[in-house]
Structure 1
């Protein structure tokens, strides 16, 4: 299936262009080809730049690859949810997705993907772990998770919802990376639920769900209480 585009530059756009990365060799022309095709699928994209559309595509693709990696490692291969595993998940997530900076150049993914942040970050009234303490906090979190899972498996009794809530909340309170903490937090939550409860919990599919998620997140972080966070999964 193809579509002819009427204009100064004759071209043919194929239906599978949406799945292809913008080819560097074609530069802006390829970007606009992708944009023209995408706007035929979704009129809301017509005011977006080709770079924005391509970035959004990369975010979706890399998110799928990252969740696939962590599920395969932790659920299928029964590996520990280690620092190395979490870092690799984040590196995959960040690939092809630079951080947009309001003033100054974008931060390339290779500069922040899979590495702990060295800057101070905060959100609303939430203060996260000071950067110099992040490595120690992450090491402690992963050690505690490993020990708790080993103990519950030995007893053959486990509450996967409480454990998933506890450690995904702890991760987001540490906020170890410069960008993508929320997405990795939800991947950790779902990796634990998938392995021990056999389910995946989609969070924020709809506007009202996203509002509830943000509200629960802020409340849980401020109180340091995983019960609030747990309520999102049950």
Structure 2
């Protein structure tokens, strides 16, 4: 069949029943076998892909990038091919490291960016991490190369077996993992790479509710259905590649077919679709995890457009890097340079002794040049909520370094030191039926091997004592705290 330059613009095949309405006595999912999220949702994505409908499911999304702009960036990127060997190498070094580091870190891997680079580029290890974390980082790197190879082969379509293989590759070998019984009792379960779940893997939400994924019995048929739809869309596109990738990601995680590695496989599938369509891989950054999860929650509620728009912004960022690299321009960000310096300094140390110990001098420097600026940024962001409250309270940051230094000198033998500050908002004056108050507590924990930024008891970021909290990291942390406060 002849293809247009944008095959996803062609009209879809006619439906046998009214779009958006299930056949009598059947659910949307039972009726709509071609598009597992339902006819109505697919029709909205298709219209947006063709430019006949603006993809909105609520208020304007702050990260919106129109499909036309994204396609223009893709075309500009394609026109600059081929890249020189040098420019190709530095672009893929960045994409490879970011993809590996962030996709694993989002799921709980504790290797730093510098440790990821040492491991993947220099085959060296440092830090005090479990063997499993090093193994998964290297295995994920193999998974990325496998996904790139699959995407480059235009003669074959991805299969359900390929999806299982991706999970098998990134998990590497069987292992035991902590789990919970149906009645909430702690237990352990063996994880078999590439094998569909054999027990429920539903999750308990922070408020105590259970979020249900596909049952063990429903997983094989639903994965077969998803794979069949995916192959049809790959062969005869009706959606823009980013809309396709977002829908594939969401449908996959709603099934949650594996006992472990579902998020990483979902992001590998997203980038398989993008690479096959001439785009560059998008990177979901660990600092932006709150926005990522919010977009997924909105998709769960039927607002798939939020996830599409979020992915649009990330795909545009990667294309902008690619265009800069192709033109010989710098693609380094300030945080990248700082990371490279940290790696160089660490590499010059004979024997690589591991993380440096905590000292009063180091802590004072980290506070003066990292933690204190972070709190000033956070203070500015949270101040945007002040007009909604009659009274606010915030910490005095000015003398933090001096106070911490005195405490450390007097308690140098203590196992750790934690500094907590509360931001209080009293007497809501907005349009809610009843006034309310809320507080958020930010904690900096200076422990023997590292220091951690925490919000209401949750660790947001851990760093070594030779790693300064950068301005970019501070901006992302402050933004995630503001978002969490706003969503209360």
Give the structure-1-normalised TM-score.
0.69
**Corresponding residue for 1:11?**
none
Please state how far the C-alpha of 1:202 moved relative to its aligned partner.
Answer: 0.6
Q: How does 1:58-69 map to 2 (within 5 A)?
A: 58-69=135-146
Within the candidate set 159, 171, 180, 2:252 is matched to 171
**Corresponding residue for 2:123?**
19
**Corresponding residue for 1:196?**
277
Q: How does 1:177-192 map to 2 (within 5 A)?
A: 177-192=258-273
The 8 Å contact of residues 176 and 188 in structure 2, kept in 1 or not, is answered as: no
Within the candidate set 49, 57, 62, 2:134 is matched to 57
**Corresponding residue for 2:429?**
none
Distance 1:75 1:229, change over 3 A: farther
Within the candidate set 264, 267, 291, 1:212 is matched to 291
Whichever structure has more strand as a proportion of its residues is: 2
Q: How does 1:101-112 map to 2 (within 5 A)?
A: 101=178, 107=190, 111-112=191-192
Matched, 1:140 2:220: no
Give the structure-2-normalised TM-score.
0.35
Could you list the structure 1 runs, at least 4 aligned residues long, displaced by more than 4 angstroms after superposition.
102-106
Please state how far the C-alpha of 1:162 moved relative to its aligned partner.
Answer: 0.6
Distance 1:97 1:115 in 2: 10
Distance 1:86 1:130, change over 3 A: same
Distance 1:105 1:95 in 2: 19
Q: CA RMSD in A?
A: 2.4
State the secondary structure of the residue aligned to 1:233: helix
The 8 Å contact of residues 150 and 272 in structure 2, kept in 1 or not, is answered as: no
**Corresponding residue for 1:86?**
163
How many residue pairs were aligned? 182
Structure ID, larger Rg = 2
Question: What do residues 63-104 of structure 1 show as CA deviations (whole Å, max 9, x unaligned)?
Answer: 111121122123335432211000111001111473432655
The 8 Å contact of residues 70 and 85 in structure 1, kept in 2 or not, is answered as: no
**Corresponding residue for 2:200?**
120
Whichever structure has more helix as a proportion of its residues is: 1
Structure 1 residue ranges without an equivalent (≥5): 1-14, 21-33, 40-44
**Corresponding residue for 1:42?**
none
Matched, 1:227 2:305: yes
